Amino acid sequence: MSSFSIFIVEDDRFYGQYLKQYLSSNPDYDIKLFLTGKEFMGELHKKPDLVTLDYDLPDINGAVILKKIRQTSPDTKVIIVSGQKDISTALDLLKDGANDYIVKEQDSRSRLWNVILRIRENQVLKSQVEQLQEEVGRKYDFEKAIIGNSQAIKTIYALIERASKTNINVSITGATGTGKEMVAKAIHYNSPRRKKPFVAVNMSAIPKELLESELFGYEKGAFTGADTRKIGRFEVASEGTLFLDEIGDMDIALQAKLLRVIQERELVRIGGKETIPLDLRLIVATHRDLKEEVALGNFRQDLYFRLLGLPIHLPPLRERNNDIMILAKHFAEMFCKENKMPLVSFSSEASEKLLRYSYPGNIRELKAIIDLAVVMSNGKVLLTEDIIYSQTAQPNDFLNSGEMTLAQYDRMIIRSYLDKYQDNVALVAKKLDIGKSTLYRLKQNDEI
Amino acid sequence: MTSKPEKLFDLQELRTIAAGDKGFFSEMIRLFISQNEAALLDIRTQVAKNEFSLIKGILHKMKPSIMVMGVNSATEIIKQVEQLELPAMKEPGFAELLKQLETILQEVNDQLRKM
């Protein structure tokens, strides 16, 4: 453990030396003794880890010194060591921020020792938590969490960076498996709120009748079965981020209550009377077209505009052809490392097969395909036969990608050929039997 | 069967804390003697001025070091005084308690000087 600084403030020189000598038996403790409050205050700027403070100093009252410590060095722990047994004095000092109160009695030195040990252990735990939080933050460094090299992904990086710098609401849209929660986490863990909670609620996973109590919490006795108070997800996410996934599935009655919470920045638990202020950042996600849902009367327009904030759309994987092999290689590497297997590579035929597929399940499906391919492979190179698609989907099945216009189909075909032949316009024009100038024009206008 | 007379003081706690540091041990003995003498002088002064409320504070301050040095008889007297209200401190019984305390502490100091 690193050095731990302790300041002893004690006007009884004998007792002060006694404590100092005793605590010095731990080589990790760096101890200084002060015989007056004034002397100590002159050194408080050094922000010791811990202060043992005699309440009855002749020059300055212990309560005044405690207050000064709290203002100047809020992280410093304070243990009051006093001859007074008065419980109300002890309670007042604990309320004012003292960490413990020890009466000068026969066993006080061993009690002090144990209290300091406990404080140090908590400090170590706190430091470990901070370290883990930093690691989680690094994990969600968005260029590491969201893999890709396509223009679409680069646009998303830029939007995540903007979103993480402010408290603006974020609405993330995209088909299932495109990484909406990953984006939400990347925003949170790169924002000033990263050390506060990230609370995710999947609106479609919770039964409608339970969703309100899950979000708002309830007081004891609010309804049959409410045996204790429950804190809702809004409160749990306090000072952090609340991620509402599949917001498009929210019941219209509950939408009205959500709107009120967002507008007023406060809530009342079910069965409660107390208004609870809220400070949180809201990110929502849906695979639905909310504008269409508003037109159909399934989603409130006023809520839609409140939630819109900074919109981020995640394209389906088939529109990120550049990224398919990057992701595939990343997933293969991850799987091999997690399962302590030798790393694998992809044959050119296996790569082509992967590039031709439409991925209705998007990134999640690609990961499942790659994990299975690594398991099924007999060697260090993944072959065509190792790439197994689910029975419901067909490779190169544009019709399964959802209905599109002819122009959209054309662009999709051209894009996939350009990706396959590394943007070789002449070659692609020849393969598709179209003019090179047509391809150049489409590229210049950002149509492909 | 006769019981052993209680020791006037017990240096075991101080020896434990000193952990073989003779310099520290001697310094603490010296400090204890000088703090006691100063406190007893202070008590006599306050008695002469009839400032009985201040005497409690002086005794309260002396108690921790007296406990460390294992002067149990003195600790008991101080605990008795701590229970007294101001009017009782003007009674002859209180003066007697103070006299006993002074006698004990002076004897302790004398024995410590001889060590």
For A81, name the nearest residue in chain B, comparing CA atoms only: B64
Which of A216, A181, A170, A124 has the alpha carbon at shortest distance from A363? A181
pLDDT digits (tens, 9 = 90+) for B19-43: 999 999 999 999 999 999 999 999 9
Beta strands in A168-289 (DSSP E): 170-174, 198-202, 217-218, 230-231, 241-245, 266-268, 275-277, 281-286
Angstroms from B44 CA to nearest CA on chain A: 20
pLDDT of residue A320: 85
Q: Is the pLDDT reported for residue B2 higher than 60?
A: no
The answer, yes or no, to whether residue A396 has pLDDT greater than 60, is: no
Question: Confidence class of residue A419 from pLDDT cuts 50, 70 and 90?
Answer: confident
Phi, psi angles (nearest 5°) of residue A285: -145, 150
CATH 3.40.50.12370 fits A317-444, yes or no: no
Q: How far is B25 from chain A (nearest CA, A)?
A: 10
| Residue for token pair 């202070």 | B42
- Which residues of chain A are within 8 Å of residue B14 when distances are taken between CB atoms? 18
For A108, nearest residue in chain B (alpha carbons): B64
Hey, of A8, A12, A14, which one would you mutate to test binding to chain B, going by the most B CBs within 10 A of its CB? A14
Phi, psi of B79 (to 5 degrees): -60, -40
Buried b (16+ CB within 10 A) or exposed e, A66-77: beebeeebeebb
Rounded to an integer, the average pLDDT of A324-333 is 94
Alpha helices, DSSP H only, in chain B? 12-18, 22-48, 52-68, 72-83, 92-114
- Cβ–Cβ below 8 Å for A12 and B61: yes
Residue B5's pLDDT band (cuts 50, 70, 90): low
Return the pLDDT at A422.
67
> In the CATH scheme, what is the homologous superfamily, with its name and number, of domain A4-132?
Response regulator (3.40.50.2300)
CA-based end-to-end distance of chain A: 59
In terms of DSSP bridges, do strands A50-53 and A29-34 run parallel, antiparallel, or are they unpaired?
unpaired
Please report, rounded to a whole number, the percentage of residues in chain A having pLDDT higher than 70. Answer: 96
Task: Provide the residue type at A212 as one letter.
Answer: E
Q: Which residue has the higher pLDDT, A236 or A392?
A: A236
CA atoms within 13 A on the CB side of A4: 23
Measuring CA to CA, which residue among A33, A15, A36 is closest to residue B62? A15
> Tell me, what's the ipTM?
0.92
Residue-range domain boundaries for chain A: 4-132, 140-314, 317-444
Instruction: Average the pLDDT over each of A68-77, A240-249, A362-371, B46-55 and give the range with the smallest value.
Output: B46-55
Tell me whether residues B31 and A25 touch, CB distance under 8 A. Answer: no
> Do the beta carbons of residue A389 and residue A328 sit within 8 Å?
no
Q: Which of A12, A22, A25 sits opposite B64 (nearest CB)?
A: A12
Give contacts of A 13-52 with B, CB under 8 A. 13-15, 17-18, 21-22, 25
Summarised one tens digit per residue, pLDDT across range A62-121 is 889 999 999 999 999 999 998 877 788 888 888 888 999 998 887 899 999 999 999 998
Domains in chain B, start-ordered, CATH in brackets?
21-114 (1.20.120)
Q: Is the pLDDT of residue B88 over 90?
A: no
Q: What's chain B's length in residues?
A: 115
Distances in Å between the Cα of B49 and the Cα atoms of A392, B43, B93 are 103, 10, 18
Q: Supply the DSSP symbol for A49.
A: S
**Cβ pair A104:B61 closer than 8 A:** no
DSSP string, A256-311: HHHHHHHHHTEEE-BT---EEE---EEEEEESS-HHHHHHTTSS-HHHHHHHHBEE
Mean pLDDT is highest, among A275-289, A405-419, B79-93, for A275-289
CA A341-A179-A190 angle, 5° bins = 95
Alpha-carbon distance A95 to nearest alpha carbon in chain B (angstroms): 25
Alpha carbon A323 to chain centroid, angstroms: 24
State the angle between helix axes of B52-68 and A13-23 in degrees (0 to 180), rounded to the nearest 10: 30
- Please give the single-letter amino acid code of residue A434: I
A18 neighbourhood in chain B, CB within 8 Å:
14, 17, 28, 65, 68
Token pair recorded at residue A291: 């504008």
| Three-state SS at A399 | helix
Which of these ranges, A294-298, A406-410, A427-431, B6-10, has the smallest mean pLDDT?
A406-410
Q: Is the pLDDT of residue A399 over 60?
A: no
Among residues B43, B61, B62, B40, the alpha carbon closest in space to that of B52 is found at B43
Q: How many CB pairs under 8 A join A and B?
A: 43
Residue of A418 and B41 predicted with greater confidence: B41
Can you give the three-state secondary structure of B53-74, one letter per residue? HHHHHHHHHHHHHHHHCCCHHH
pLDDT in tens, A18-51: 999 999 999 889 999 999 999 999 999 999 999 9
Query: Residue A17 and residue B27: Cβ atoms within 8 Å?
Result: yes
Nearest-Cα distance to chain B for A76, in Å, is 26
pLDDT for the residue numbered A408: 78
Nearest CB among A17, A56, A83 relative to B31 is that of: A17
Give residue A395's pLDDT: 46
Q: What angle do CA A24, A25, A27 make, to 5 degrees?
A: 75
Question: If you average pLDDT over residues A134-154, what whole number do you get?
Answer: 78
Collapsed DSSP state (helix, strand, coil) of residue A40: helix
Does A409 contact B at CB distance below 8 Å?
Answer: no
What tens digit of pLDDT does each residue of A297-314 get? 999 999 999 999 999 999
The distance from CA A113 to its chain's CA centroid, rounded to whole angstroms, is 38
> Contact B60/A25, CB-based, under 8 Å?
no
- CA distance linking residue A85 with residue A105, whole number of Å: 10
| A:360-399 residues touching chain B, CB 8 A cutoff | none
Give ∠ CA A203-A207-A212 in degrees, rounded to 5: 70
**Which alpha helices (DSSP H) does A24-105 contain, by range?**
37-41, 62-72, 87-95
Q: Do B61 and A21 touch (CB under 8 A)?
A: no
Strand, helix or coil for residue A37: helix
CB A54 within 8 A of CB A62: yes
Closest partner residue to A18 (CB to CB) among B17, B21, B60 is B17
| pLDDT mean across residues, chain A | 89
Q: Collapsing DSSP states into helix, strand and coil, what is residue A400?
A: helix
Identify which of B19, B24, B64 has the shortest CB distance to residue A15: B64
pTM, entire model: 0.59
Which helix (DSSP H) or strand (DSSP E) does residue A14 occupy? helix A13-23
Residues on B contacting A at a C-beta cutoff of 8 Å: 14, 17-19, 21, 24, 27-28, 31-32, 35, 60-61, 63-65, 67-68
Interface contact flag, B17 A105, Cβ < 8 Å: no
According to CATH, the topology of domain A140-314 is Rossmann fold (3.40.50)
CA distance A262 to chain B (A): 59
Long-range contacts of B40-43 (CB under 8 A, 24+ apart): B40/B102, B40/B105, B40/B106, B43/B98, B43/B102
Instruction: Check if A140-314 and A317-444 are the same fold.
Output: no
